[in-house]
């Protein structure tokens, strides 16, 4: 004999008795159930990897302390000499970036490519000695970031993560609807009682009720933070993020003409994100060309002098031009959004061709920049990290408790989905409009809804075994 399952618990026991409202309630519950079953595992992955990535500065400092830390001295080796020494050590490599280091006790990082490999050499700026080297593919936090953003499977993984994030919004909205008390008794006594199971769990009502409350009540308290992390993470996504960035730029919320020294470049082929890692708001900034002359390209130290004189945050990186008409690109991606900067410098004259700071961002750019630094846990330091960590832990607990709820009520034969109700024409129209709106705002959600509809129409409704399994 199979194990006996406890009867299904309604998400909110005080739901209305009106048949039409009850049908709507069960429909919302059904969508919440399926979205949770399908995407909870991905949300757990995102929350765990995100929790680790929050502490990237501390983790990398611990892992690479011997590479990062140097003893300050009076005299420094010139940057040009450091680059020259690296070229001697790696004659077949192409130098791509130079990072001076944000403090006197920080090593200098010189990035290069050799064949299909990218790596960073750490140099002591006082002695000119090589400290060590690190291949990009061996950076642990880069692997965590890749797993967090695309499950380490490229574009397909990026789309899956984006889909899970978008459907998490549906989970939040449907969950809040299910969480809202449906008891219509207006007496003060009933109102006070209704807070149990809404704002705090009921401890004396049995295991079934407690399991429900340990999922629903924490979900309410975590919902706002979860929604914030989702919305601040979506700008990085491949499909939604790219379209959002294009709209923001084309509507004037991107870079303004005032950042250019002279005329903006006429070419729209090369964007800053193609030549350097820069803040989100600067990724679509067009890259100008250096005026080719008989002069020798400026040495790195002259570019660093420009950075200091222009007040660039000392954590900046210099991307070195690879073509005769290329430019030096300075990108500062510091902990606080207000310190971000992207600057293009003529490689021959040292003229600043474009200077793009946080103050130049449009309203959308500023909001996204702040959202990203808050999402990464850097804007307010350790307080930001701990607060975001608590949200991530909450997401894991909610997802696990939801799956546990399903497992406890799942029958031996069948998925254990809520029974599909008959919804009246009015509510069907409301759902249709909501789905259309979701499809417009989040294209992958719209596409997935079409796929679900096709499966329901041509598989679920026509195969009785499937229909019974899904309780349709």
pLDDT for residue 4 is more than 50: no
For residue 39, the 8-state DSSP code is H
Spatial distance between the Cα atoms of 171 and 434, rounded to a whole number of angstroms: 14
Q: What's 83's domain CATH number? A: 3.10.450.40
Residue-by-residue DSSP string for 149-190: HHTTSHHHHHHHHHHHHHHHHHHHHHHHHHHS-------HHH
Please report whether residue 269 resides in a domain: yes
Element (H, E) at 95: strand 94-99
| Mean pLDDT for the stretch of residues 315-342 | 93
340 phi-psi bin (left φ>0, alpha ψ -120 to 50, beta other): beta
> How would you list the strands of the sheet with 94-99, edge to edge?
130-135, 117-123, 108-114, 94-99, 317-319, 327-332, 341-346, 352-357
Please report whether residue 418 resides in a domain: no
| Mean pLDDT for the stretch of residues 123-140 | 96
Please report whether residue 200 resides in a domain: no
List pLDDT tens digits, range 283-311: 877 888 878 776 788 999 999 999 999 99
Q: Which one of 142, 170, 186 terminates a domain?
A: 142
Q: Which one of 142, 168, 185 terminates a domain?
A: 142
Spatial distance between the Cα atoms of 356 and 331, rounded to a whole number of angstroms: 10
Torsion angles phi and psi, residue 214, rounded to 5: -70, -10
pLDDT for residue 282 is more than 90: no
Give me the pLDDT at residue 429, please: 79
Element (H, E) at 319: strand 317-319
- Euclidean distance between the first and the last CA atom of the chain, given in angstroms as a whole number: 26
Q: For residue 330, give the nearest of 371, 285, 362 by alpha carbon.
A: 285
Please report whether residue 133 resides in a domain: yes
Please report whether residue 290 resides in a domain: yes
List pLDDT tens digits, range 373-432: 999 999 999 999 999 999 999 999 999 999 998 888 888 778 888 887 776 777 777 777
| Mean pLDDT for the stretch of residues 174-193 | 65
Of residues 271 and 254, more confidence is placed in 271
Q: For residue 155, give the nearest of 145, 166, 146 by alpha carbon.
A: 146
Question: How many domains does the chain fold into?
Answer: 2
Spatial distance between the Cα atoms of 325 and 347, rounded to a whole number of angstroms: 8
For 343, the domain range is: 255-360
Which pTM does this prediction carry? 0.87
> Picking from 70-79, 247-256, 340-349, 352-361, which range would have the lowest pLDDT averaged per residue?
247-256
pLDDT for residue 109 is more than 60: yes
Mean pLDDT of the chain: 86
- Taking residue 365's Cβ as centre, other Cβ atoms within 10 Å add up to 24
Please report whether residue 306 resides in a domain: yes
pLDDT for residue 209 is more than 90: no
Query: What percentage of the chain has pLDDT greater than the value 70?
Result: 88
Structure tokens at 397: 């607990």
- Taking residue 20's Cβ as centre, other Cβ atoms within 10 Å add up to 14
| Structural contact between residues 438 and 445, judged by C-beta atoms closer than 8 angstroms | yes
Q: Which one of 360, 383, 414 terminates a domain?
A: 360
Please report whether residue 13 resides in a domain: no
| Structural contact between residues 351 and 260, judged by C-beta atoms closer than 8 angstroms | no
Please report whether residue 77 resides in a domain: yes
> Picking from 124-128, 131-135, 320-324, which range would have the lowest pLDDT averaged per residue?
320-324
List pLDDT tens digits, range 29-65: 888 999 999 999 999 999 999 999 999 999 999 999 9
Spatial distance between the Cα atoms of 286 and 131, rounded to a whole number of angstroms: 36
């Amino acid at each position: 004999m199979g194990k006996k399952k406890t009867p299904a618990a309604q998400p909110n026991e005080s739901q209305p008795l009106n048949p039409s409202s009850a049908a709507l309630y069960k429909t919302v519950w059904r969508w919440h159930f399926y979205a949770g079953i399908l995407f909870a595992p991905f949300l757990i992955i995102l929350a765990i990897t995100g929790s680790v990535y929050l502490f990237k500065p501390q983790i990398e400092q611990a892992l690479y302390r011997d590479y990062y830390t140097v003893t300050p001295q009076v005299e420094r080796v010139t940057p040009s000499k450091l680059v020259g020494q690296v070229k001697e050590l790696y004659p077949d490599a192409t130098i791509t970036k130079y990072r001076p280091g944000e403090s006197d006790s920080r090593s200098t990082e010189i990035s290069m490519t050799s064949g299909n490999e990218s790596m960073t050499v750490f140099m002591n700026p006082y002695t000119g000695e090589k400290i060590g080297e690190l291949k990009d593919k061996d950076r642990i936090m880069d692997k965590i970031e890749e797993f967090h953003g695309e499950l380490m499977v490229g574009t397909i993984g990026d789309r899956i993560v984006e889909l899970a994030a978008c459907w998490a919004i549906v989970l939040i909205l449907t969950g809040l609807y299910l969480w809202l008390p449906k008891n219509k008794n207006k007496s003060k006594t009933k109102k006070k009682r209704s807070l149990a199971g809404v704002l705090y769990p009921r401890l004396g009502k049995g295991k079934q009720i407690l399991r429900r409350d340990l999922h629903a009540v924490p979900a309410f308290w975590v919902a706002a933070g979860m929604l914030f992390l989702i919305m601040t993470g979506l700008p990085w996504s491949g499909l939604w993020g790219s379209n959002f960035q294009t709209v923001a730029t084309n509507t004037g919320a991107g870079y303004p003409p005032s950042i250019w020294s002279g005329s903006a470049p006429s070419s729209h082929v090369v964007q800053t994100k193609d030549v350097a890692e820069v803040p989100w708001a600067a990724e679509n900034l067009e890259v100008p060309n250096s005026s080719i002359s008989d002069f020798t390209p400026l040495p790195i130290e002259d570019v660093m002098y420009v950075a200091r004189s222009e007040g660039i945050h000392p954590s900046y990186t210099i991307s070195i031009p690879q073509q005769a008409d290329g430019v030096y690109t300075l990108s500062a991606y510091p902990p606080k959004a207000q310190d971000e900067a992207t600057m293009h410098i003529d490689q021959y004259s040292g003229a600043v061709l474009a200077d793009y700071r946080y103050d130049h961002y449009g309203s959308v750019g500023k909001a996204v920049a702040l959202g990203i630094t808050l999402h990464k846990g850097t804007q307010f330091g350790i307080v930001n990290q701990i607060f975001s960590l608590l949200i991530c832990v909450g997401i894991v607990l909610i997802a696990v408790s939801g799956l546990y709820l399903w497992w406890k009520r799942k029958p031996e034969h069948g998925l254990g989905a809520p029974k599909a109700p008959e919804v009246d024409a009015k509510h069907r129209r409301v759902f249709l409009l909501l789905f259309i709106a979701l499809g417009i705002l989040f294209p992958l959600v719209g596409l997935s809804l079409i796929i679900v509809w096709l499966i329901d129409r041509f598989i679920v409704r026509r195969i009785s075994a499937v229909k019974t399994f899904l309780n349709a």
